[in-house]
């Protein structure tokens, strides 16, 4: 079972792999929502853009979302006011509100058929103890000038103690939208190359050279629109972001369409959003979040929780889809958008969308486009990518640094006292042979696959993920298949393989 968004999209555009050296004004690395929206805006302004992606369009994070287009990013506005002040909180809110309007405008101007619908978004609770938190958030949002409402009734198939409703939000089919953007970019004479892995970007005089396996692109501007920046220095984004994995199931409820989009106020997270697919009312239920690469993650602690919830709410439902995704989480809960580093002029970044990439990607595209066009963007101050403000949630910083440090000290990790014969089919783990750590996976036919379980990003020891049969990095969330092939950034190189 794959993502509903991927399985339900017909791609009517042919994309090719980069096969020659080229020059352009702006080279955009990453064809997710941020990269494509930036390419759309810039190509519309007449700039010559080239977009490169190591996979197919919309097959990574942008194609694995719940696709809620909302400025209600959980309970965040009270926190933003307390941490950054009213001005920044207001900029954050209205940048995201404007992003909703921008997306609607693109869909309407370009006639993109992507199932866009208007609906309200809700953060709800079934716990009376959380009502105060919700009421404070309502006050905070209203103080910023946005008219949200506290409500006690929703369309959810269970009672809530209360909810915050944001009106005039939206949802869409993200992959259909992305294919629509691709068509616009191509019509505006932009170029898009898929299955083209970028290894490096080098600054040479007054231009950048973006290097792929066999070719390079020369450009004045570079936009790093990969999920997680793969360039470590300068920038140091790996010290200020980690990744979180979350799970989504799609069920045919066999009941009426659920009106509105919902998420719980506090953990455990449950997210609901419906999609109309012909006669079927598909409900997407999300949750089961954990830090990517965490130990002891099982089917029971992830998908099974969602399946149980689905059966509780819709006893006759049918499970149609299930998938998981990774999101970059910033330590201060605000995305990094703008200049990549003051040492690399004309290189831009948009990352750390904290699970709210539908609007954040549009905010990022507007800020980066304005920067390239030399226009002052009124929201950019809220998202400054090179910010050095004291980080408020210091607990998370310590957590991440501790995890990074302990993972980097490979020799101190305790090796389980086991051997290859003990492994069941379909299982994997790290063992030690002659002083070398070896990551072993025994497939369903009993064949062994062995890798060096050391992340090719910055050397952390990988964890075995028995749900997806992958090696996951606990430090910044890179992921590799059981044959060592890199699937998710920031790592770009494959793992070393052992022959047994």
Q: CA-CA distance, 146 to 142, in Å (whole number)?
A: 5
- The CB density around residue 279, as the number of other CB atoms within 10 Å, is 6
End-to-end Cα separation, the chain, in angstroms: 32
Of residues 63 and 490, the one with the C-beta less far from ligand FES: 490
Q: How far is the CB of 406 from ligand FES (least distance, A)?
A: 12
Q: CA-CA distance, 82 to 76, in Å (whole number)?
A: 10
Q: CA-CA distance, 162 to 150, in Å (whole number)?
A: 7
Of residues 211 and 408, the one with the C-beta less far from ligand FES: 408
Question: According to CB under 6 A, which one of 57, 478, 484, 486 is a site residue for ligand FES?
Answer: 478
Pattern 207-246, ligand FES, x by CB under 6 A: -------------------------------x--------
Of residues 255 and 295, the one with the C-beta less far from ligand FES: 295
Q: Angle at the Cα of 476 (from 442 to 343), degrees rounded to 5? A: 140
DSSP letter for each residue of 170-199: EE--HHHHHHHHHHHHHHTT-EEE-S--EE
The residues near 80 (Cβ < 8 Å, ≥ 6 apart) are 88, 89, 92, 333, 334
Of residues 121 and 461, the one with the C-beta less far from ligand FES: 461
Segment contacting ligand FES by CB under 6 A, of 110-118, 193-201, 295-303, 451-459: 451-459
Question: According to CB under 6 A, which one of 35, 174, 338, 490 is a site residue for ligand FES?
Answer: 490
Q: How far is the CB of 430 from ligand FES (least distance, A)?
A: 15
The residues near 27 (Cβ < 8 Å, ≥ 6 apart) are 49, 50, 52, 208, 210, 217, 219, 221, 222, 223
Segment contacting ligand FES by CB under 6 A, of 4-12, 133-141, 310-318, 455-463: 455-463
The residues near 355 (Cβ < 8 Å, ≥ 6 apart) are 73, 244, 246, 327, 329
Segment contacting ligand FES by CB under 6 A, of 201-209, 296-304, 330-338, 450-458: 450-458
The reply to whether 331 sits near ligand FES by the rule CB under 6 A is no
Q: How far is the CB of 453 from ligand FES (least distance, A)?
A: 11
The reply to whether 475 sits near ligand FES by the rule CB under 6 A is yes
Which alpha helices (DSSP H) does 297-418 contain, by range? 303-313, 357-373, 394-408
Segment contacting ligand FES by CB under 6 A, of 18-26, 301-309, 392-400, 474-482: 474-482
Question: According to CB under 6 A, which one of 364, 455, 487, 495 is a site residue for ligand FES?
Answer: 455
Taking only Cα atoms into account, the Rg of the chain, rounded to an integer number of angstroms, comes to: 22
The reply to whether 334 sits near ligand FES by the rule CB under 6 A is no
Pattern 80-119, ligand FES, x by CB under 6 A: ----------------------------------------
φ, ψ for residue 425 (rounded to 5)? -60, 135
The reply to whether 491 sits near ligand FES by the rule CB under 6 A is yes
Burial profile 98-133: b = 16 or more Cβ within 10 angstroms, e = fewer:
bbbebbbebbeebebebbbeebbbbbbbeeeebeeb
Q: CA-CA distance, 39 to 31, in Å (whole number)?
A: 9
Q: Which of residues 12-71 bind ligand FES (CB under 6 A)?
A: none
The reply to whether 473 sits near ligand FES by the rule CB under 6 A is yes
Q: How far is the CB of 457 from ligand FES (least distance, A)?
A: 3
Instruction: Give the residue carrying structure tokens 């602690």.
Output: 301
Of residues 227 and 476, the one with the C-beta less far from ligand FES: 476
What torsion, rounded to 10 degrees, do the Cα atoms 230, 374, 334, 401 define? 40
Helix (H) or strand (E) holding 220, with range, is: strand 216-224
The reply to whether 400 sits near ligand FES by the rule CB under 6 A is no
The reply to whether 79 sits near ligand FES by the rule CB under 6 A is no
Of residues 477 and 484, the one with the C-beta less far from ligand FES: 477
Per-residue DSSP letter, 297? -
Of residues 198 and 365, the one with the C-beta less far from ligand FES: 198
Number of residues forming the site for ligand FES (CB under 6 A): 13
Contact 89, 81 (CB under 8 A): yes
Q: How far is the CB of 405 from ligand FES (least distance, A)?
A: 12
Q: How far is the CB of 199 from ligand FES (least distance, A)?
A: 16
Of residues 11 and 492, the one with the C-beta less far from ligand FES: 492
Of residues 151 and 458, the one with the C-beta less far from ligand FES: 458
Tokens of residue 204, six digits: 């040479």
Contact 290, 439 (CB under 8 A): no
Q: Where do contacts with ligand FES occur on this chain (CB under 6 A)?
A: 238, 455, 457-460, 473, 475-478, 490-491
């Amino acid at each position: 079972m794959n993502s509903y968004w991927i399985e339900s999209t017909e791609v009517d555009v042919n994309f090719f792999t980069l096969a020659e050296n080229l020059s352009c004004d702006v080279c955009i690395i990453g064809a997710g929502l941020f990269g494509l929206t930036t390419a759309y805006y810039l190509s519309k302004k007449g700039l010559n853009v080239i977009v490169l992606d190591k996979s197919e369009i919309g097959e990574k994070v942008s194609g694995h979302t719940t696709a809620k287009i909302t400025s209600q990013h959980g309970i965040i506005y009270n926190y933003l006011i307390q941490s950054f002040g009213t001005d920044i909180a207001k900029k954050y809110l209205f940048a995201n509100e404007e992003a909703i309007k921008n997306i609607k405008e693109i869909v309407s101007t370009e006639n993109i058929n992507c199932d866009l619908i208007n609906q309200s978004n809700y953060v709800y609770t079934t716990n009376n103890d959380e009502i105060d938190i919700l009421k404070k958030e309502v006050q905070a949002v209203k103080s910023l000038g946005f008219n949200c409402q506290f409500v006690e009734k929703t369309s959810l198939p269970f009672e809530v103690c209360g909810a915050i409703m944001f009106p005039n939000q939206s949802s869409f089919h993200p992959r259909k939208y992305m294919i629509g953007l691709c068509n616009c970019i191509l019509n505006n004479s932009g170029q898009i190359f898929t299955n083209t892995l970028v290894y490096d970007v080098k600054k040479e005089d007054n231009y950048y050279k973006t290097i792929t396996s066999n070719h390079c692109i020369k450009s004045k501007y570079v936009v790093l629109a990969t999920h997680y920046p793969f360039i470590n220095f300068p920038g140091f984004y790996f010290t200020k972001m980690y990744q979180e994995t979350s799970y989504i199931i799609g069920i045919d409820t066999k009941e009426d369409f659920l009106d509105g989009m919902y998420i719980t106020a506090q953990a455990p997270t449950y997210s609901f959003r419906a999609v109309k697919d012909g006669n079927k009312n598909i409900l997407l239920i999300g949750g089961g979040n954990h830090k990517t690469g965490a130990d002891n993650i099982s089917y029971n602690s992830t998908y099974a929780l969602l399946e149980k919830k689905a059966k509780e709410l819709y006893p006759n439902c049918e499970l149609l889809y299930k998938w998981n995704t990774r999101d970059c989480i910033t330590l201060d809960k605000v995305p990094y958008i703008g200049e990549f580093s003051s040492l690399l002029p004309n290189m831009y970044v948009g990352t750390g969308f904290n699970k709210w990439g539908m609007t954040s990607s549009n905010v990022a595209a507007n800020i980066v486009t304005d920067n390239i066009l030399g226009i002052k963007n009124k929201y950019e101050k809220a998202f400054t990518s090179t910010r050095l403000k004291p980080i408020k949630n210091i607990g998370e910083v310590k957590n991440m640094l501790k995890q990074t440090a302990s993972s980097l000290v490979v020799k101190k990790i305790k090796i389980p006292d086991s051997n290859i014969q003990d492994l069941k089919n379909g299982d994997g783990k790290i063992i030690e042979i002659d002083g070398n750590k070896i990551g072993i996976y025994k497939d369903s036919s009993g064949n062994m696959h062995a890798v060096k379980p050391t992340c090719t990003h910055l050397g952390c020891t990988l964890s075995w993920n028995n749900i997806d049969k992958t090696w996951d990095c606990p430090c910044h969330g890179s992921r590799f298949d059981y044959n060592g092939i890199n699937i998710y950034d920031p790592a770009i190189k494959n793992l070393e393989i052992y022959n047994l």
